A and B are shown apart, each in its own frame.
Chain A
Amino acid sequence: MTEKYSVDVLIIGGGAAGLFAAIRLSEFNPETKIIVVEKADVRRSGCLASGVNALNAYIGKGHTPEDYVEYAVNDAHSIARRDLLLTMAQRLNHVTKIIERLGLVIEKDSEGNYVERGWRNVKINGESIKLILAAAVKKFPNVEILNHVNVADFLLDGDKVVGAYGFGVREKIFYNFAAKVTLIATGGASGIYLPNHSGGSRHQIWYSPFNTGAGYAMGIRAGAEMTTFEMRFVALRCKDTIAPTGTLAQGVGAAQINSRGEFYQKNYGNTTSERVFAVTSEKFFGRAPCYLKTIGISAEQEKFLLDAYLNMSPAQTLRWIETNQPPSKFNVEICGTEPYIIGGHTAAGYWVDKNRQTTLKNLFAAGDVAGGCPQKYVTGAFAEAEIVAESILETLAEIKMPAPIDFNTGELKKFFANDSAFTIDELEIAMQTTMDEYAGGLTQNYRFNESQLNLAAKNIERIEKLSENLHAADMYDLLKIFELRERLTVAKVLIEHLKARRETRWAGFAQNLDYPNRDDKFNLLVNSVTTGGKTKIIFRSLNDDLH
């Protein structure tokens, strides 16, 4: 059966951006009919499922939004959109107040000011941040939440997005959404590359393994312009647990140290990619393991660390206790992760204007899928969501409710009838190993050349063909097939972007061995549009706005 909905605003993805947009839209105009479609449960879905340790984007005392723009542009080695960064940064402190009003605990001093961690962070208890957002959105009768429904693709009328279709993850129900305006607020893409661990711990990874690049893939298939996929993100993590390191570096001032006891980071610089490059290089030159020096921290500091990790990455606290290797007595080994595509940290994603309107009519993007605006983190996602909410309210009255478009459920049902020589898992591993080996994965120290990228492209095309024949035994299998195919779609575009940037801009994230140095000729944005399966690269100036 197919369930049909007609709404003013369709929000795809119930994460930080999606829920915040629903809340702000409802506060601005409680008459707006909104549906949020989430493939898991909004209370714990996406990358914030286990919580978040700090609000990492905030303008501290004595600083301005322009300072934040400079910081982010510098960290991205110039590849970012200043207009997007500024419009985000101007709202960071404002959305921080809103999330506090909704119930987030934020540390304050005796005068009632937020306690800052550095000038860009505030201290919080973020374990329940998704529960807080979910509870807030539930209060609005104009918002319907559809949990456990996966959106498969947009519905298009020419170059206009007029809704989307999807399927239930549990029951065999198909969904057809007609919407005046659609917000794509899905997550970034993990699982394209071979992860740090194989086998039993294959999902002990930094970013949510359930964020599969669905929003990117839908945009690519619909011909939306995308930007800066080649700026992959590699996270610097605690070895094994892949828990965050920022809390150690910023919380107790732990510095990187190699096996010879040398503090080496000063040799590499201090941008996000340079910190990763430092570890990769030390390992390459035989000075591994690398650590964050925590030996000597006080008993009180150690207690605070144990609590802080329980609120975002409980495995790390368990490891310290279970192995009897507490951070005050043992340094914490660190490593880089496999690469991810994620617009909340780097500049990869939809090409949008200042209102976060994409190149497809009536489609907006916010959060990890929106490109050009790195270092946005949770508050940046909120800021973009609020910008979208305001933009939508300005345009909604002029847009007519589109007539429902029927979609061919046969495209979904065929997977139940398929007979495949391969399992979903086998093709996923085939994709990950090819991307790792030929497109600069973790085992290759993020290095590649053009010949390898060409081979990667051929392999991904072959795997994509094989995926058309995959067999689904139930709706969960259908979800897994879609997730794999989303990753393959993103991988194909990623390879073209990596080929187009003929330089090495962020050595910690990607090294093009044909062009091992930075080349200022490439002080530009690599964009792309995919039509009929072919990706066309478009170079844009750093000052280009959309349209």
Chain B
Amino acid sequence: MICIDKENCVGCGKCVDICPGNLLTLKNSCAAIRDVRDCWGCCACVKICPRNAIAYQLSADLGGAGAKLFADDSPTKLTWQILKTDGEKIFLEVDKRQSNKF
């Protein structure tokens, strides 16, 4: 499921356009999800958000403990950031010009 940081959202609407389920809307110039249970977890909104205002989070029934997954997209690389509940940050960089090894 995703969670939206209302402080960081500037209401640009990019996530509203991109969501494959038409789940996101703008409410008072801030992104909002109609029903978080309907999120597929595809992370299209996480990748397109220019402000890191949307994160993917594993729900408790999927083994989640509150860590958040953010992404910074650029033409050549996708940089993922995992923010754990104890404040630890883990960065994973995927070079878009390289194929998967498996």
The residue on A at minimum CB distance from B90 is A321
Contact A315 B92 (CB under 8 A): no
Closest Cβ of chain A to B70, distance in Å, is 11
Contact A197 B41 (CB under 8 A): no
Contact B61 A40 (CB under 8 A): no
Contact of B41 among A46, A53, A305, A315 (CB under 8 A): A315
Q: Given the complex of chains A and B, what is the CA–CA distance between A148 and B20 in angstroms?
A: 10
Residues of B within 8 A of A305 (CB): 102
Contact A202 B37 (CB under 8 A): yes
Residues of A within 8 A of B65 (CB): 322-323
The answer to whether B18 has its CB under 8 Å from any CB of chain A is: yes
Contacts A315-B62, A318-B67, A319-B62; A125 near B41 (Cβ below 8 A): no
Residues of A within 8 A of B63 (CB): 240, 319, 322-323
Residues of A within 8 A of B69 (CB): 314, 318
Contact B42 A50 (CB under 8 A): yes
Contact B34 A476 (CB under 8 A): yes
0 or 1 for each of A47-69: is its CB under 8 Å from B? (1 = yes):
00110011000000000000000
0 or 1 for each of B20-43: is its CB under 8 Å from A? (1 = yes):
111000000000001011111111
The answer to whether A247 has its CB under 8 Å from any CB of chain B is: yes
0 or 1 for each of A309-329: is its CB under 8 Å from B? (1 = yes):
011001101110111000000
Q: Given the complex of chains A and B, what is the CA–CA distance between A415 and B66 in angstroms?
A: 40
The size of the chain B interface, using a CB distance under 8 A, is: 43
Considering only residues 51-74 of chain B, those with a C-beta below 8 Å from chain A are 56, 58-65, 67, 69
Q: Given the complex of chains A and B, what is the CA–CA distance between A200 and B58 in angstroms?
A: 10
Contact A49 B42 (CB under 8 A): yes
The answer to whether A117 has its CB under 8 Å from any CB of chain B is: yes
The answer to whether B17 has its CB under 8 Å from any CB of chain A is: yes
Considering only residues 158-214 of chain A, those with a C-beta below 8 Å from chain B are 169-170, 197, 199-205, 208-210
The residue on B at minimum CB distance from A209 is B40
Contact of B22 among A39, A50, A321, A322 (CB under 8 A): A39
The residue on B at minimum CB distance from A105 is B99
The answer to whether B6 has its CB under 8 Å from any CB of chain A is: no
The size of the chain A interface, using a CB distance under 8 A, is: 60
The answer to whether B1 has its CB under 8 Å from any CB of chain A is: yes
The residue on B at minimum CB distance from A53 is B100
Contact B102 A308 (CB under 8 A): yes
Considering only residues 63-97 of chain B, those with a C-beta below 8 Å from chain A are 63-65, 67, 69, 78, 80, 82, 84, 90, 92, 94, 96-97
Q: Is the contact region of chain B dominated by helix, strand, or loop, or is it mixed?
A: loop
Q: Given the complex of chains A and B, what is the CA–CA distance between A148 and B17 in angstroms?
A: 8
Contacts A201-B1, A304-B101, A308-B102; A44 near B20 (Cβ below 8 A): yes
Q: Given the complex of chains A and B, what is the CA–CA distance between A235 and B77 in angstroms?
A: 30
Contact of B67 among A54, A148, A322, A476 (CB under 8 A): A322
Q: Given the complex of chains A and B, what is the CA–CA distance between A284 and B102 in angstroms?
A: 32
Contact A308 B100 (CB under 8 A): yes
Contact B22 A308 (CB under 8 A): no
Contact A148 B22 (CB under 8 A): yes
Closest Cβ of chain A to B13, distance in Å, is 11
Contacts A41-B17, A210-B40, A314-B43; A201 near B96 (Cβ below 8 A): no
Contact of A203 among B19, B22, B39, B84 (CB under 8 A): B39
Contact B101 A251 (CB under 8 A): yes
Residues of A within 8 A of B80 (CB): 310, 314, 317
Q: Given the complex of chains A and B, what is the CA–CA distance between A252 and B101 in angstroms?
A: 10
Q: Given the complex of chains A and B, what is the CA–CA distance between A250 and B101 in angstroms?
A: 11
Residues of B within 8 A of A50 (CB): 41-44
Q: A49-B44, A201-B1, A204-B41 are in contact. List 12 more A-B contacts (CB 8 A).
A: A44-B20, A44-B42, A54-B100, A107-B100, A127-B96, A170-B22, A203-B41, A240-B63, A319-B58, A319-B63, A322-B58, A476-B34
30 A-B residue pairs with Cβ-Cβ distance under 8 Å, sorted by A, are: A40-B19, A44-B18, A44-B42, A49-B44, A50-B41, A106-B99, A107-B101, A123-B99, A125-B100, A126-B100, A127-B96, A197-B62, A199-B61, A201-B1, A201-B59, A203-B41, A204-B62, A209-B38, A210-B40, A240-B61, A252-B102, A310-B94, A314-B80, A315-B56, A315-B58, A322-B58, A322-B64, A322-B65, A322-B84, A476-B22
